[in-house]
Amino acid sequence: MSKFQKVLKMMIRIGIGVFFVVSAVLKMLSLDHFELYIYSFHIFNFALSGLVARAVIACEIMLGILLIIKVKYKWAWWLTMLMLVGFSLLLVYVILFRDDTNCHCMGDLVEIKPSLSLIKNLVAMTLLLYVRNEGDYSFRWKNLAMVGVFVVALVPPFVLFPMDGIYNLLFKSKDQDFNETEFNALMADSTMRDVNLDEGNYIVGVIASGCKFCETSGVKMSEFADRNHLDTNRILYFVWGDSTSIENFKVHTKTTSFRFVTISPLAAIRVVNGGFPTYLFMRDGVVEKTADLHRLTEKAVCDHLQ
């Protein structure tokens, strides 16, 4: 093998490894949206979707590093190829049966259409075939390096970005901040006369239309309602923002079938003490509990509304 071929193969191998690591990091930076995207296929419940999302990120980090440092290379090569094949088959399904504008392969910071991502994967698989017959680097601390790779792959997605269930266990605290007096005053206002929450179970989200965390929670609620066939008449949003921003929120979160009530910024801030989003779980006009973005779980929503 010529020196040029050796250098070329090294560059391709390192390039694919770096790309996998960068892809994983970008997914992790918009992890809430990535797990919601997995959940949107309605294969797993939300908790399991979060586990799958983190497992994908951990695998990409691990395989990327192993390709770069050439440790367990054959094993890493085959798993990388299998991941690319699996992702490509999923992308074919998305192209044929869905209308996604972003496949979340590079998170939300770099939006890629499914068709372009499929081409990317095919190119990567072709390049992988070219570097198939590479061997392992031999060095003294190889086993220790493997342990380090596993730690680096698992800690960021599972520890630094814990799943909602783990987060809620680790950070047990009182319910999301809520001012009952201000809420009752708001409900007594003449502009709220058509909002009847006195009989039955409702969930009221108090949000700001331009808040990215509120938007993520809106997507969550929309997916929960769609998958579990919830009555959207019992899900309301008290929202502040201009009309354009509110309409954009509805479109981006697919919550057009939910009820929206526009309130003033001061009223919203007073009710939830500035904590957006806050979801109020109400029974017969009384707020039983509240939830923020992480405590808004599929089980809690379904148990309350079904």
Question: According to the model, what pLDDT value does residue 165 have?
Answer: 77
Residue 277 preceded by cis peptide, ω within 30:
yes
- The gap between the terminal CA atoms of the chain, to the nearest Å, is 67
Question: According to the model, what pLDDT value does residue 62 have?
Answer: 97
Q: What is the pLDDT along the chain (306 residues), one digit of tens a residue?
A: 688 888 999 999 999 999 999 999 999 999 999 999 999 999 999 999 999 999 999 999 999 999 999 999 999 999 999 999 999 999 999 999 998 999 999 998 899 999 999 999 999 999 999 999 888 877 778 888 889 999 999 999 999 998 887 777 766 555 567 899 999 999 888 778 788 888 999 999 999 999 999 999 999 999 999 999 999 999 999 999 999 999 999 999 999 999 999 999 999 999 999 899 999 999 999 999 999 998 899 999 999 998
Question: According to the model, what pLDDT value does residue 262 have?
Answer: 94
Question: According to the model, what pLDDT value does residue 296 have?
Answer: 92
**H helix intervals, the chain:** 3-29, 31-39, 46-69, 73-97, 114-130, 142-155, 164-170, 180-188, 212-228, 243-253, 265-272, 298-305
Question: According to the model, what pLDDT value does residue 306 have?
Answer: 81
Hey, where are the domains in the chain?
A: 3-164, 180-305
Question: According to the model, what pLDDT value does residue 134 have?
Answer: 82
Question: According to the model, what pLDDT value does residue 195 have?
Answer: 85
CATH superfamily of 180-305: Glutaredoxin (3.40.30.10)
Question: According to the model, what pLDDT value does residue 171 have?
Answer: 65
Question: According to the model, what pLDDT value does residue 224 have?
Answer: 96
What single letter denotes the amino acid at residue 187?
M
Question: According to the model, what pLDDT value does residue 229 have?
Answer: 94
> What letter does residue 177 receive in the DSSP assignment?
P
